[in-house]
Amino acid sequence: MTPPTVLAVIPARGGSKGVPAKNLAQVGGVPLVARAVRACLASHEVTDVVVTTDDAAIADAARAAGDTTGTPE
């Protein structure tokens, strides 16, 4: 029996009124979006991770963390 595919989708907007560039903000030396991608990849249930974004820098950080499908919209 083939294990199920579990897709984690992480929405990461580039613009923010409250905290500008929050998805690129460093938390413990790691961008917030990268922490989210790594947490999903560390899960035994998640098989694929996709970050949706409108910002090229966020897409780059997501790819560097392991998301191979995230591209700016």
pLDDT in tens, 3-27: 899 999 999 999 878 888 899 999 9
Strand-pairing partners, residue 26, are 31
Q: Which amino acid type is present at position 26?
A: Q
Single-letter amino acid, residue 20: P
Could you read off the pLDDT of 31-44 as tens digits, one per residue?
999 999 999 999 99
DSSP 43-63: -SS--EEEEEBS-HHHHHHHH
Task: Using only the alpha carbons of the chain, give its radius of gyration.
Answer: 13
Question: What integer pLDDT is reported at residue 19 of this predicted model?
Answer: 86
